[in-house]
Structure 1
Amino acid sequence: MKTAEIAQRYLDYFEKNDHVIVPSASLVSNDPSILFTIAGMVPFIPYLNGLVPAPYARAADVQKCIRTLDIEEVGHTARHGTFFQMLGNWSFGDYFKEGAIGYAWELLTSAEADGGLGFAERDLWVTVYEDDDEAAALWKKIAGLPEERIQRMGKEDNYWHTGQPGPGGPCSEIYFDRGPAYGRDGGPAVDDSRFTEIWNLVFMQEQITNVRSKTDFDVVAPLPRKNIDTGMGLERVAFIKQGVENMYEIDQVRPVLDRAVDLSGRRYGAEHGDDVRFRVVADHVRSSLMLLSDGVTPSNEGRGYILRRLMRRTVRAMRLLGVDEPTFPELFTASRDAMKTAYPVVADDWTRISQYAFAEEQTFLRTLAAGSTILDLALDETKKAGKPALSGSEAFLLHDTYGFPIDLTFEVAQEAGLDVDRPAFDTLMQEQKARAKADARSRKRAIADQSVYREFRAQGETVFTGYTDLETSSRVLGILVDGLPAQQAVQGQIAEVILAETALYAESGGQVADKGMIVGPGYELDVLDVQRPVPGLVSHTVEVTQGEVGVGQPATTVVDAANRRSAAQAHSATHLVHAALRDTLGRTATQAGSLNRAGYLRFDFSWGQALSDATKSEIEEIANNAVRDNLEVSTRVLPLAEAKQLGAMALFGEKYGDTVRMVDIGGPWSRELCGGTHVATSAEVGVISLIGESSVGASNRRVEALVGQDAFRELTAERALVSQLTSALKTPRDQLAARVAELSANLKAAEKKIAAFEARALADRVPTLADGAARIGAFRVVAESLGVAASGDDARSLALQVRDRLGSEAAVVALGAEVKGRPVVVVATNEAARAAGARAGALAKVAAGILGGGGGGRDDVAQGGGTDVAALPDALRGVRTALETA
């Protein structure tokens, strides 16, 4: 049974049993405390905890998930994968334990011919929470399971909660017995390798608080509305139904593994280490494909960093399998073909997906080449120092800064006859992980108090009137001061104010929040920010500038009209620039993010190279021609499917409901899903002036532009500057560029002459400096100040020349100079001096310490610096003193 067929059978069964079929949410989580959708229940959390009223009583879905916490286990076990799919059925105050158990058992054990999954009853075991007599009795009643196949387990295994105050409850897990070849008999309590969990039924029935750990918390009271949250692992069911050994061998994953086998020339099943690498490749390629399909792009932070890590682990695994050349064109194509039946987007959006994937692999292959060079130098230094192992700090630097995998560091070091200080490396990694976990905990804490919005959200969604009105009368539903509910806020306080209606736009879709005021009887509030802390609810962060505001009082939101107009100009201009980019570069130049505020826009798009000046001018001209043509800007609210059928562009990372708002400018020329505010016709945008274009990643570019009055002021300032230049240079405007180029060339020629003169002047000092060498112990020493030098390189060059002139006798040269207002000391030693114990790096550190800075370098030549120019004589004396004791 194919994986997609299992999923379809699941959905068909629950649709037949009156469940609303909900499409998978994006892998990019709405919850700011987590990067990805890490479990099937994540999209339903607002409904499960009562924060947002559920739009249906019962639902079912197939949810895409990404979880990398156990990434090191991938390939080693039968069931660990970074991308997985959860089949879930949900009840929000509708059916409870009996219904959930009945549905699960019927679907699992019904014959395949009848639409079921065809599991033999004898192969299924269940666990229940140790005190849940009700669930145990229901399993006997509904499934007829004997007592010995219903095992009771504690909170660690069979009690569910989020880790935060809120809903919780016991759960019941269903296990499949893979047979005696996979381990001991006796059920999941004895061996969870032989007995594989396939379905977890969570019975949310209690309100918990004071959560100290997974097993240590306080139960406050029963929930007023009990919920059902279930999750069945699609990949686990698939590898059982397909009769293969693990999730990496199912039909959606195995093609990638097989392609990796072909590319490497090695056999799957021949060697455990290679098998793990093949499975890592199969898993990570699929995960990367699905993340890219949901709009995540490789980067050095957040979600992009996780994607980059998955892709680079794939490259590393293929390298360890003996493949050094690019493989993503083969591997990603195989994954696309395996996944497109279940997720057509991976084929429909293949051009963009493959562009990012292939570019990232090429970038990392270059990184590996550069990292290899750095590693080779580090290994050479380690050998010269007579050390047996590369330091953990150097290995960590390669890993953390350059992205060079630690196991490749081990491999190369072993080839060089050296070890790596793994304990020190592991310590640094643990410290980094601890910092990351602390950051994650702080994010979680920041969002943990969302429950304060539950009462407000229960009164309905905040009505936004700002598309048509700049003032709206409403009433104060609630006030939060320091994150806690309050009855009032007084003058001087910062507070959050929740209203029933608002004309103020909440930040979203790249458009910043409106500026404005909230006024009422006896009070005025300056609006500092407007956000949507939970879906459907708008919160205004305000400063009370006059009087005091209380819950229940009338309130009128007043939008800053000039700021709104300018922001609307910028947002409409963003749509025009997007359309112009696609006209110029083609359909693959899709939006990857944007920012719109009054008078300014920033637009990120998928593209792999810098735009030429001619291309930028063409984009700017097309956008401004659209302004000139006074195109109508129209909006429609319609079903999402209809909008997509009409060709509306959707922004990756944005979440869309069943009904969306579509913005047209000039009909289909610019057609996007957008909740932002816009002008009525394109002529109202005024002027669009591109002011910058830059890289924001291997496959992303960014354009910035000023809009409307801000663009006009920028162009006016440039005109004034050109006028000043033409006057100062006494050159006509049309000849200004040539005149500036001529002056620049003359300046460079003059600088070269000056540099040559200064170099000659320094070279003329070599004999004098060498002749003035003093005897300190076994060394001939030159320790002098040069005064002001153009650069540290000049001092370095002179020190090497003086050292060479002193011949083969042990010689040390230390030259100080003031470079751009800061002190620099360069130390050079010859071979005889080094043999006598003089090390340039150590001497440079001595000087730098006196100068109030740092320094070091090789034994033959090194440099130090600091902040105190007046201390240069003392620094040079410090070098002489160090030599006296050498």
Structure 2
Amino acid sequence: MQTHEIRDRFTQHFVNAGHQAVPSASLILDDPTLLFVNAGMVPFKPYFLGQQNPPFPSGTATSIQKCVRTLDIEEVGITTRHNTFFQMAGNFSFGQYFKEGAIKHAWSLLTGPTDDGGFGLDPERLWVTVYLTDDEAAEIWEKEIGVPAERIQRLGMEDNYWSMGIPGPCGPCSEIYYDRGPEYGAEGGPEADDNRYLEIWNLVFMEFERGAGDKKGNFELVGELPQKNIDTGMGIERVACILQGVENVYETDLLRPVIDVAEAVTGAVYGKEHESDVRFRVIADHSRTAMMLILDGVSPSNEGRGYILRRLLRRIVRSARLLGAQGETLGRFMDTIMDTMTPSFPEIAANRERISRSAVNEEKAFLKTLESGTALFDRTAAGVRESGAAVLGGHDAFELHDTYGFPIDLTLEMAAEAGLEVDMAGFDLEMKQQRERAKADNKAKKHGHVDESVYREWVDNNPTVFTGYSELTGDATVIGLVKDGVSVTSAAAGDEVEIILDATPMYAESGGQMADRGTLTAGDALIEIRDVQRVAKRVSLHKATVVSGGIELGTTVTAQVDGGWRHGAQQAHSATHLIHAALRQVLGPTAVQAGSLNRPGYLRFDFNYTEQLSDEQMSEIATIANQAVDADWAVNTVETSLEQGKAMGATALFGENYGDVVRVVEIGGPFSMELCGGTHVARSSQIGPVAVLGESSVGSGARRIEAYSGMDAFSYFSKEAALVSGVASQLKAKSSDLPDRIAQLTERLKSAEKEIAQLHQAQLMSRTGELVDQATQVGQFTVIALKLSDGISAGDLRTVATDLKGRIRDRAGVVVLASADAGSGKVPFIVGATEQAVAAGVKSGDLVKLLGQYVDGRGGGKADLAQGSGSDAAGVDAGLAAVRDALAGM
């Protein structure tokens, strides 16, 4: 039975039982507790917590949620049980049924005949576990289902009590296991061997809320949930193993094809030896996870979710190379995994090119990093072993990371393979001193859920009606006041308060458009609204300051939007749609939106693209956008179903979860059509001019365009025109002649600078004879250790040092020079050693590092020549003295 059929059977089983089928949420949710969705119940958490009533008429739901867990990336492939991406099939009840219903639903699907839509598993091979004190569940299994008592085992908190690991809902659970047979391990049920007895379904009886704790089980129960709920999770991949008769998830129809391709491109064979098998599994697992992350809008970067993606892709590349692959491989892996996953996730088909391009470009960049970084690592590791040590220095690990872009986890892996440890304390110290860059899966801080229960009454019963599409002023009734997280009945002058109205013309921040500003008035009361935010996409919270008078529940107020603010925001938002449409015309349909910000007169637009845009492309984008303004197209909106909106050709934002009813904004017919809930101008001409400022990188595979609109664009153009006019006047040239005139001046300046540099170098070289005379004998070495006059650059310093080293090449000579470069504010320094000095044990790189300690700098190089740079010129003399002392002691 193919995996997509397993998914279909699961969904249909629960739909037939009255559950509402809910599509999988994006892997990226607006949840401060999670980097990615990591459990099937995550999208339903507000309903379990009682913050919102479930929007399902039956009070039950079913879903197959895509999940990613990254805490055990290093374990992937070592065993066959760890996957970073998995599909969690679940059924959920919000107070409708509890333990008996959940158990019967699961059992009937697992053991039901395949002809009737079941999975047809042998009941005699199923075991169950319950929580130690859960007599009720044990009795249901034995008396209602007929599972023999000897196949019902009681386990403790670690195994049979569920929570997300953070404050939130929790409860005892009952797990269902499949006995794979004696060839897989010892008899005795799950408590004896959880390799033979494979867990396939977890039924969570959610009835409590837990508090903070540092370990699973080490927490207190802070109370009962408003109602008893059911949250179950069946592992699609594990059931596929059983129904397809394969050893593990890597042998199923989803992942085995990737391993087959990996065999073809590497020449290695899967199943022959453990170390190679681990690499094959890493390729298969990470290819799928990376593909799904890119599908949901993640781009490789050095922080957060993007760092996780980058780490996965780089592990694939390195694993393939260790198996024998030459050149690029990610394109083939991505094509294969997209083929196997498309039947379950049809949206992959429309995004194949974007996914492949993002992965392949990351591979190209990493192959360069891998080549240079691996060579440096091999040299460094060899030196460590030759010295008899077993620890790779923290500075060396940091240099790999900072200079060569080598991830520290990759250094750790390679060090382990070489039988070495890494001085992580030293690495962390270097990181703290130089820059703040850390692995996101270690830095992502988990917190308890945001308590929105104070808003539940309004979310469930009194959602805010937004009237701002058609009016900027309107009367409304105050139906809620929240101060410092507590519901109150009134607010006085000077209070900071959140105000909930039954209706509002003020736009709440959403879709990149900043919230409206405005006022509420009632009699002598004046309230300033500085921000509007939404709760559960249903209630508008007006963040307010009571300027004068007071306000109470039930007060009728007049809400007034700041018209100038709204007009500017609408211009920017509509201009964003034009920029998006122009981008797609110029770059193609794969240049899709990855985020935006619109405030009055200004917009920024992030999009997935891997290459810097040319001046010609930028000019074309600006021209197309302004032509759309000049066309004076009507801006039309229509509310329709999500399916119909997509059928109309409307562009949707990746990672956004749309409701059943969506708003389509259309400008110029097919020119621009997007799903958007924001406010817009009535006609494109009202946007005014659009001034495209430029574009830049915001991470690997992501670019950003910034622009002004309306009067801000006009002001920008006016300032630019004044600047050009001023330059033309200074150069006594026409504006049209400025490019040629500036090019001529630039060429003359370069020529003059080159001539000055040659004269400067000649002057320096004329002094080298004098510098040789300042050599001193330090032990067995002839040493020239000097601080030269300020203003000598690092390049000049290298020229002088090389010349001096040549003048004393017949001796065991060492040249140590430092200066202060006024132009850069740096303190360049260099150490050179003759052949005799190197033979006597001098290592210029070590001496450079020693000198660097005194000038707040660092550097490196070879034994005969090394160079560095610092920032504290006051330490030069002490640094030179330290180098002399080191040479004297040799």
Which of 67, 70, 90 aligns to 1:68? It is 70
Q: Is the 8 A contact 2:266 2:326 kept in 1?
A: no
Structure 1's 541 and 781: CA in aligned 2 closer, same or farther, altered over 3 A?
same
Question: How far does residue 813 in structure 1 lie from its aligned partner after superposition?
Answer: 4.0
Tell me how far apart the structure 2 counterparts of residues 577 and 486 of structure 1 sit (CA, whole Å).
45
Contact 2:637 2:663 in 1 (8 A): yes
Following superposition of structure 1 onto structure 2, how do residues 480-495 of structure 1 map, counting pairs within 5 Å? 480-483=482-485, 485=487, 494-495=496-497
SS, match of residue 743 in structure 1: helix
Quote how far apart the aligned CAs of 1:536 are: 2.2
In structure 1, the residue matched to 2:447 is 444
Q: Could you say which residue in structure 2 is the equivalent of 1:461?
A: 463
Partner of 1:32: 32
2:834 matched to 1:830?
A: yes
Q: What letter is aligned with 1:586?
A: G
Deviation at 1:570, TM superposition (A): 0.9
129 and 871 in structure 1: CA distance in 2 versus 1, 3 angstrom threshold = closer
Tell me, in whole angstroms, the C-alpha distance in 2 between the residues paired with 1:216 and 1:848. Answer: 48
Distance 1:582 1:196 in 2: 48
Counterpart amino acid of 2:594? Answer: A
Cα deviation 1:491-519 (Å, max 9, x = unaligned) = 55555444443333222212222233444
Structure 1 CA distance, aligned partners of 2:155 and 2:246?
A: 29
Instruction: Report if aligned partners of 1:396, 1:425 keep a CA contact under 8 Å in 2.
Output: no
Moved more, 584-593 or 637-646: 584-593
Match of 1:298 among 280, 286, 300: 300
**Corresponding residue of 2:650:** 648
Secondary structure, in 3 states, of the residue corresponding to 2:208? strand
- Answer with 455-464 or 642-651: which moved more: 455-464
How far apart in 2 are the matches of 1:858 and 1:274? 36
Q: How many angstroms does 1:842 deviate by?
A: 6.5
Which amino acid is the alignment partner of residue 375 of structure 1?
F
Specify whether residues 19 and 741 from structure 1 end up closer, same or farther in structure 2 by C-alpha distance, changes over 3 A only.
same
The CA deviation at 1:77 is: 3.5
Task: Say which is worse superposed, 280-289 or 716-725, in terms of deviation.
Answer: 280-289
Q: What amino acid is aligned across from residue 444 of structure 1 in structure 2?
A: H
Match of 1:342 in 2: 344
1:696-845 aligned at under 5 Å gives the runs 696-774=698-776, 780-820=782-822, 822=825, 824-832=828-836
What one-letter code is carried by the residue in structure 1 that aligns with 2:10?
Answer: Y
Q: Secondary structure at the match of 2:451?
A: helix
Q: Give the structure 1 partner of residue 7 of structure 2.
A: 7
| 1:135 alignment partner AA | A
Decide whether aligned partners of structure 1 residues 259 and 780 sit closer, same or farther in structure 2, where only a CA change above 3 A counts: closer
CA contact (8 A) 2:390 2:421 kept: no
How far apart are residue 647 of structure 1 and its match? Answer: 0.4
Aligned pairs for 1:164-563 within 5 A: 164-209=166-211, 213-219=215-221, 222-379=224-381, 382=384, 390-391=392-393, 394-395=396-397, 398=400, 402=404, 404=406, 419-422=419-422, 439-441=443-445, 443-445=446-448, 447-483=449-485, 485=487, 494-520=496-522, 523-546=525-548, 553-563=555-565
Q: Which moved more, 1:347-356 or 1:709-718?
A: 347-356
For residues 282 and 885 of structure 2, the distance between their equivalents in structure 1, rounded to whole angstroms, comes to 59
171 and 434 in structure 1: CA distance in 2 versus 1, 3 angstrom threshold: farther
Aligned partners of 2:302 and 2:437 also within 8 Å? no
TM-score normalised to the size of structure 1?
0.91
Deviations, residues 642-694 of structure 1 (Å, cap 9, x unaligned): 00000000011211111111100012220000111111110011011111122
What's the offset of the Cα at 1:316?
1.8
- Secondary structure (helix, strand or coil) at the match of 1:788 reads coil
Q: Deviations over 1:392-423 (max 9, x none)?
A: 553465368756478976898899xx752357
The 1:829/1:342 distance shift into structure 2, 3 A limit, reads closer
**Counterparts of 1:380 and 1:757, CA distance in 2:** 44
Task: Provide the C-alpha distance between the structure 2 equivalents of 1:40 and 1:456, rounded to a whole number of angstroms.
Answer: 27
How far, CA to CA, are the matches of 2:422 and 2:843 in structure 1? 29
CA distance in 2 between counterparts of 1:428 and 1:849 reads 17
Contact 1:73 1:80 in 2 (8 A): yes
Three-state SS of the structure 1 residue aligned to 2:121 is coil
Distance in 1 separating the partners of 2:399 and 2:868: 22
Conservation of the 8 A alpha-carbon contact between 1:316 and 1:405: no
Is the alpha carbon distance of 1:225 and 1:748 closer, same or farther for their aligned partners in structure 2, counting shifts above 3 Å? same
Would you say the 8 A contact 2:394–2:423 is kept in 1?
yes
Q: Distance in 2 between the 1:123 and 1:237 partners?
A: 13
Please say if 1:630 is aligned against 2:632.
yes
Which letter does structure 2 place at the counterpart of 1:661? Answer: R
- In the aligned structure 2, how far is the partner of 1:397 from the partner of 1:775? 34
CA 1:484–1:162 in structure 2 vs 1: closer, same or farther (change >3 Å)? Answer: farther
- Pick closer, same or farther for the CA change 1:244–1:848 going to 2, 3 Å: closer
Cα distance in structure 2, aligned partners of 1:794 and 1:267: 55
State, as a whole percentage, how many aligned pairs show the same letter. 50
Tell me how far apart the structure 1 counterparts of residues 886 and 399 of structure 2 sit (CA, whole Å).
32
One-letter amino acid of the structure 2 residue matched with residue 748 of structure 1: K
Matched residue SS, 2:169: strand
Tell me by how many angstroms 1:171 deviates. 1.6
Between stretches 700-709 and 632-641, larger displacement belongs to 700-709
Long gaps (5+) in structure 2: none
Q: Tell me, what secondary structure is at the counterpart of 1:134?
A: helix
**2:17 aligned partner:** 17
Contact 1:844–1:864 (8 Å) recurs in 2: yes
Q: Return the alpha-carbon distance in structure 2 between the equivalents of residues 410 and 394 of structure 1.
A: 12
Residue by residue over 1:468-526, the C-alpha shift from the partner in whole angstroms, topping out at 9 and shown as x without a partner, is 23234434454555545556666555554444433332222122222334445555444
Which residues of structure 1 form unaligned runs of 5+?
Answer: none
Q: Could you tell which deviates more after superposition, 366-375 or 426-435?
A: 426-435
Mapped to 2, the partners of 1:173 and 1:181 lie a distance apart of 22
Q: Which amino acid is the alignment partner of residue 834 of structure 2?
A: N
Number of positions where the alignment pairs a residue of Structure 1 with one of Structure 2: 882
Offset of 1:163 from its aligned partner? 3.9
Offset of residue 741 of structure 1: 0.5
After superposition, where does 1:637-716 map in structure 2 within 5 Å?
637-716=639-718
Per-residue deviation at 1:294? 1.9
Letter in 2 for 1:67: R
Which amino acid in structure 1 is aligned with residue 140 of structure 2? L
Alignment RMSD (CA, Å): 3.4
Q: How far off its partner does 1:784 sit?
A: 4.8
Structure 1 500/403 Cα, relative in aligned 2: closer, same or farther at 3 Å? farther
Aligned residue type for 1:196: L
SS at match of 1:10: helix
**How far apart are residue 868 of structure 1 and its match?**
6.3
> Deviation per CA, 1:85-134, whole angstroms, max 9, x where unpaired?
11111111212222212211212211111121111111111112222222
Report if aligned partners of 1:79, 1:236 keep a CA contact under 8 Å in 2. Answer: no
1:789 is paired with a residue of what secondary structure? coil
Change (3 A) 1:401 1:59: farther
Tell me, in whole angstroms, the C-alpha distance in 2 between the residues paired with 1:213 and 1:389: 32
Select between 376-385 and 43-52 the one with higher mean Cα deviation: 376-385
Equivalent in the alignment of 1:590: 592
Q: Is the 8 A contact 1:168 1:206 kept in 2?
A: yes
* Aligned match for 2:143, one of 136, 141, 144: 141
- With over 3 angstroms needed to count, the CA separation of the structure-2 counterparts of 1:515 and 1:827, relative to structure 1, is same
The separation in 2 between residues aligned to 1:831 and 1:603, in whole angstroms, is 58
Structure 1, 428-437 or 326-335: larger mean CA deviation:
428-437
